[in-house]
């Protein structure tokens, strides 16, 4: 039975962790993190009930703090690190997270409750230009300036506090015919990109991802792998450039190779079983040199 240390940085509902732990033996160890205490509790219960041979420790932590989590456990190197980015379906559908404009809820969006700013605070306090920039940069929204202007006009009348209010304001700033976006056949709601940008901003997703790759790559054992699954282009760009950068840094004791020249994408059968997987891209980095 394989041994070694595995870190699942995003345990979510426990699916990947269980699949991994059930393939490892009692000498292996899985550390499973999630920033959301509710998902972590769910996963812990599920994993405990499944009682895999390999011990699994569930830790409520942001993967931005990966090094601290490992240091606290006196773990110097790790054989496999997995991060399945973004949010889980239950988080999207639960109105209390304020992530969806389909189920009205308080405009919060934090999956890590220790983060300081809710989406409502961002939307009601950020200067118009900064708001436009973040919507453009994080979600490639071409109507970002019009959306930011409309938000600023609306909040001057009263603070924006719910997901449905924000969605209505964003839609009113975009040219949109029902069933299409911007007059083209694109079956997404015009509020989708703004909601994505705000979620990424509130949860500091790009900076946390960059820090995760730095910390995880520094802790890989020789032959150890880091696999990152992303669901949108901004994240995939970060993963691609960070992994390529590490692979090009040819230091004898700290050498890496990318195992995925192109990202691994789901097959048609997988997408048919799980439509939310359709935009998934997995990239894998392997440490070839020895840790110093
Ligand atoms: C796509 S789901 C993972 C699903 C999981 N692979 C499974 O099999 O159920 C993403 C999970 O990552 C968590 N998450 C997102 N960003 C995080 C971060 N910076 N640190 C720790 N957990 C995070 C979310 O709370 C969510 O539970």
Residue 19 CA, closest ligand 1 atom number = 8
Task: Give the closest residue (by CA) to ligand 1 atom 8.
Answer: 15
pLDDT at 20 over 80: yes
212 lines ligand 1 (CB under 6 A): no
**pTM of the complete model:** 0.93
What's the CA-to-centroid distance between 11 and ligand 1, angstroms?
6
Which helix (H) or strand (E) element contains residue 11? Answer: none
- State residue 188's pLDDT score: 84
Query: What is the DSSP code string of 88-139?
Result: -HHHHH-GGG---SSS--BS---SSTTSS--HHHHHHHS-HHHHHHHHHHHH
Distance 81 CA to ligand 1 centre (A): 13
Does residue 182 surpass a pLDDT of 70? no
pLDDT in tens, 142-164: 999 999 999 999 999 999 999 99
pLDDT category, 292, cuts 50, 70, 90? very low
Q: How do residues 231-277 score in pLDDT, each as one tens digit?
A: 999 999 999 999 999 998 766 567 999 999 999 999 999 999 988 88
Non-local CB neighbours of 71 within 8 Å, separated by 6+ positions = none
């Amino acid at each position: 039975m394989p041994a070694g240390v595995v870190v699942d940085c995003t345990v979510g509902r426990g699916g990947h962790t269980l699949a991994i732990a059930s393939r490892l033996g009692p000498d292996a160890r899985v550390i499973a993190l999630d920033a959301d205490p509710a998902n972590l509790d769910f996963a812990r219960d599920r994993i405990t009930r499944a009682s895999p041979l390999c011990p699994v420790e569930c830790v409520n932590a942001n993967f931005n703090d990966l090094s601290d989590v490992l240091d606290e456990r006196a773990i110097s190197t790790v054989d496999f690190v997995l991060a399945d980015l973004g949010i889980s379906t239950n988080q999207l559908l639960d109105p209390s997270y304020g992530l969806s404009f389909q189920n009205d809820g308080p405009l919060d969006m934090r999956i890590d409750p220790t983060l300081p700013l809710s989406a409502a605070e961002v939307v009601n306090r950020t200067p118009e230009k900064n708001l436009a920039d973040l919507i453009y940069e994080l979600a490639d929204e071409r109507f970002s300036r019009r959306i930011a202007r409309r938000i600023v006009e609306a909040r001057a009348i009263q603070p924006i506090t719910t997901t449905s209010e924000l969605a209505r304001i964003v839609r009113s700033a975009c040219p949109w015919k029902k069933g299409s976006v911007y007059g083209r056949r694109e079956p997404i709601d015009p509020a989708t990109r703004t909601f994505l940008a705000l979620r990424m901003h509130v949860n500091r997703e790009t900076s946390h991802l960059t820090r995760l790759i730095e910390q995880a790559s520094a802790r890989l054992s020789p032959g150890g792998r880091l696999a990152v699954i992303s669901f949108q282009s901004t994240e995939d760009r970060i993963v691609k450039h960070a992994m390529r950068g590490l692979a090009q840094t040819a230091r004898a004791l700290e050498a890496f190779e990318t195992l995925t020249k192109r990202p691994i994408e789901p097959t048609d059968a997988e997408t048919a079983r799980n439509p939310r997987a359709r935009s998934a891209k997995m990239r894998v980095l392997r440490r070839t040199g020895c840790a110093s």
